[in-house]
Structure 1
């Protein structure tokens, strides 16, 4: 309750810091009330779900259906207009300046009903592009990697490398520890974008938990440091994003982790299989800044 009282006293640009305290609970135990009919989300919101986002129906407020989505640790709130033809993204205030969205999240947390799983809904038919851009295999690979479900570690604007990571892979742990101990994430020498996957049901659930968590970096480092409870294997969390990551990995015939992909200083796309033997040379070769 203290968190909510503090939130109502602060400016709106601080609201996300407060709401994230509820989000991980909702991702595991939250859902709409069993007595309240759950409407069909608008197609753009459903597309987020099909791309691996968690979704929760927060109920109706002032005549507007409210949806919460969580993807890659980022939450968004949507209010659908009564005619269903448009929606707004952001938070709602009442005429006294109180943040209504906070109360909606709190009420849903208190209900503690089962998780709403919108993955059963049919995926929308993808639109065909008007024209096609032909890419070399390496450029197509990098394009696919950039559009996977990843989590950033390190400073914005730092040179980027991507890596497929299984939560229980000891070589992945060693690689991450190497990067962390070298200080590359803090000093801006590299940003490591983790692409969580799971080769087993347990690790798939842990990877899905990471994608759903509002603080995935903190949870991952706790896991690396030996906290066995940091990444629970909760099968109720939407694992669509993790499954897409694994499908991408398998489509390119990769079968081991860690697997590192990056754009080098000379513009080429390079792949490193396993724990790098010379991490300093790899970081020095990073060229892509995004």
Structure 2
């Protein structure tokens, strides 16, 4: 399965918020709320944004007067975001939510209990149905908004119609508790891989899995390798779209090139709530690759491979392993130490040389795939 059809020019997430707890190693956390879009990549200069409440040539925007009365607005404001009212169109009100350099445009559902991430599109529901025809599946109504599932070959997109039917929105619906309602709406559609989650809702780990060590658990995952087979192995859980996961690959490449370590890259999907559901298709694309091709595809952000049934099964295995070891975010590293004990690092370590030096030489055997 490839990424969703791009009916709107919505920027993908290129970074994440800093760790929620001071002193933690930088990582992409399993749960961060609410969901925002990154304006600029990590390390890149962000465009100068207007001061809060200011717009170019559009006067001054203000916070909604009924902020404390609308459930979804209270939820977003409770995260520390600044909310500005963008006005109403086609029976829906629009707001912007900003925290630091991250922002989203949201459409508020008529009942005030949910929101759609993304702007309104100048495409009526009647025109959409005329163009798409049999490729459309009705999702029913949720919080006063009609949902449409649109398939285009191996790609898909969920759209919601405005109350008057004269515009549509391509995006994800979230309720006032931060729950992804779109995921539930499409879960029963054939060929749509469910978003993998970690935590109490992901199902309890089996008794057998719970009894495994972290090293025993990772050896049963689906992974790609980078580096010499004879080098010490470092197991690496990554979300393909996590900026810290990408950073760890860059930091470790010199050690790989020096034949000091071999990476065993385990793709998982933990940032769908943050990146508009794009982590799962990216992980599926990597897991569709051969073991020796996975790291290169990830390094070049090549997620063009169609997710297969086998890739979906591999992702479920990896997510089960992540839950089994109590994954809190990505990157997470597991290795065998020289003294025989297990090493683990959650997030970017402060000293790579010490970590690499602690890995036992010849610490792995080729796992059967």
TM-score normalised to structure 1 length = 0.48
Please state which structure has a larger fraction of its residues in strand.
Answer: 2
TM-score normalised to structure 2 length = 0.38
Higher Rg of the two aligned structures: 2
